[in-house]
Amino acid sequence: MSYRCGHYGLGHDNHPIRSLHAMNDRTYVPCTVIGMDGDFVVFQVGEEVHRGWNHDPERLRNAAERAVEHNFPARWSEQFHMLRFERGGEFGLDKKEDWEGCRARATGARWSASARTPPTRSFRR
């Protein structure tokens, strides 16, 4: 299960074109996942330590814990703010927690990646 909010800002859903550019431009560099700090993943690129947030902290935590436990490689794209785990997926990261515009948080909507469309929920204003 994965959160899908339809918001493509940093720390939310990865737009397919952004993912494609990150792969094609070869912007990923190897990094070492250190662990989690609350809902933030902590990883090191060279001598620099980074900390990033994603709107699906449960999925991010699972990927980070697997990477640390099994020493799975990860890669970071500074240009596109994307962290890719060899086993565990790809996450757009933000430096701060930002629920603005995130429908997943507002509705608690969760859906399977195999689903054709995300669940719809009405919003009350």
Residue 121 Cα to chain centre, angstroms:
23
9 occurs within a structural domain: no
Residue 52, pLDDT above cutoff 90: yes
**89-92 sheet: strands from edge to edge:** 48-53, 40-45, 29-37, 74-77, 82-85, 89-92
76 is a domain residue: yes
Predicted pLDDT of residue 123? 37
Rounded Cα distance, 56 and 125, in Å: 25
92 phi, psi to nearest 5 deg:
-80, 135
pLDDT band at 11 (very low <50, low <70, confident <90, very high): confident
Q: How confident is the model at residue 108 (pLDDT cuts 50, 70, 90)?
A: very low
Specify if 7 maps to a domain. Answer: no
Residue 82 is assigned to a structural domain of this protein: yes
Say whether pLDDT at 60 is over 90.
yes
Residue 67: predicted pLDDT: 95
The answer to whether residues 99 and 105 touch, using CB atoms and an 8 Å cutoff, is yes
Q: Is the pLDDT of residue 86 over 60?
A: yes
Residue 123 domain-assigned (yes or no): no
The model's pTM: 0.74
Give the integer Cα–Cα distance in Å for 8 and 17. 11
Is 79 within a domain?
A: yes
Domain, as residue range, for 45: 16-97
For residue 88, what pLDDT is reported? 79
Domain count across the chain = 1
Per-residue DSSP letters for 22-73?
A: HHHTT--EEEEEEEEETTEEEEEETTEEEEEE-S-HHHHHHHHHHHHHHT--
